[in-house]
Structure 1
Amino acid sequence: MRASVYEFAGGRPAFLALARAHHARCLADPELNHPFSHPDQHPRHVERLAAYWAEVFGGPPEYSEECGDHSGVLVMHAGNGDMHDLGRRFVECFVLAADDAKLPADGEFRAVLRAYMEWAVGEVLRYPGDPAEVPRRLPMPKWSWEGLRR
């Protein structure tokens, strides 16, 4: 049986390294800097982000047990208007952060990471208006080598 994307990446330490690298890239980006340097940001933002991505890719349900479901993530990012350019920049920072975090350079693995993040950004961009428009109790997305598992 093939390892999960989570296992292939290197488990929790790999996703923590990815979240740290991604956060640093977003802070360095002149457009993404503002939302990532917000004073109200959760003090464990990077760790929570790592737990979220880890769970999405087949890791333990740490995020959903401690922080909530997919709806909560979408509500947190809703109501910011049209952010399509920021979404593109966010994906590029994520892709480059995989290098910074020294994740496996395997082409299929990197394509899976990019495909997930493009999908995830699309999910966030679906709710530019009132956060009340986000459906409640959406389960955590699960992403495999074949993409989103329904």
Structure 2
Amino acid sequence: MRPTLYDFAGGEPAFLALAAAHHERCLADPELNHPFSHPGQNPRHVERLAWYWGEVMGGPPRFSAECADHSAMLRMHAGNGDMSDLGRRFVDCFVRAADDAELPADPEFRAALRSYMEWAVAEVLTYPGPAEEVPADLAVPRWSWNGLQTLY
């Protein structure tokens, strides 16, 4: 049986490294810098991001248990209007952050990561209006080697 993407990546340390590397890349990007450098940002943002991505990729439900559900994540990113170029830049930073974090270079693994992030960005972009438009109580989706496994 094939391991989850979470286990294949190296578990929690790998996702913490990925989230930290991604955050650094976004801060360094002239367009993504603004949303990633807000003074009111949760000081545990990188850790929570690692928990969220880890849960999505088959890891423990730590984000759901300790933070919020998928609806909360979507609401946090809703209401920003058209952000299609930011979405592309976000995906590019994510792909490069996987290198920075020294995640496995296995082509299937990297393709699964990219396809997840492209899907995730597209989903976030479906809520350009107010946060109230995001449905309530959406569970964190699950992603595998074959793509989306569970949606809410």
TM-score, with normalisation over the residues of structure 2? 0.98
AA at the equivalent of 1:86: L
1:49-88 CA-partner distances (Å, limit 9, x unpaired): 0000000000001000011110000000001111000000
1:93 aligned partner: 93
- Using the alignment, how far apart are the partners of 2:87 and 2:15 within structure 1? 20
AA at the equivalent of 1:54: G
- Using the alignment, how far apart are the partners of 1:19 and 1:140 within structure 2? 17
2:107 aligned partner: 107
AA at the equivalent of 2:56: V
1:39 aligned partner: 39
Alpha-carbon deviation of 1:139? Answer: 1.0
2:16 aligned partner: 16
Alpha-carbon deviation of 1:133? Answer: 0.4
Alpha-carbon deviation of 1:121? Answer: 0.3
AA at the equivalent of 1:100: D
1:60 aligned partner: 60
2:4 aligned partner: 4
1:23-70 CA-partner distances (Å, limit 9, x unpaired): 000000000000000111001000000000000000001000011110
| Number of residue pairs aligned between Structure 1 and Structure 2 | 150
Alpha-carbon deviation of 1:130? Answer: 0.8
Alpha-carbon deviation of 1:141? Answer: 0.4
Q: Which runs of 5+ in 1 are unaligned?
A: none
1:99-140 CA-partner distances (Å, limit 9, x unpaired): 000000000000000000000001110001111000111111
- How large is the RMSD of aligned CA atoms in angstroms? 0.5
SS of 1:149's equivalent in the other structure is: strand
2:71 aligned partner: 71
> Is 1:127 equivalent to 2:91 in the alignment?
no
- Using the alignment, how far apart are the partners of 1:72 and 1:3 within structure 2? 28
Deviating above 6 A after TM superposition, structure 1's stretches of 4 or more consecutive aligned residues are none
AA at the equivalent of 1:16: L
- Using the alignment, how far apart are the partners of 1:15 and 1:39 within structure 2? 24
- Using the alignment, how far apart are the partners of 1:139 and 1:28 within structure 2? 31
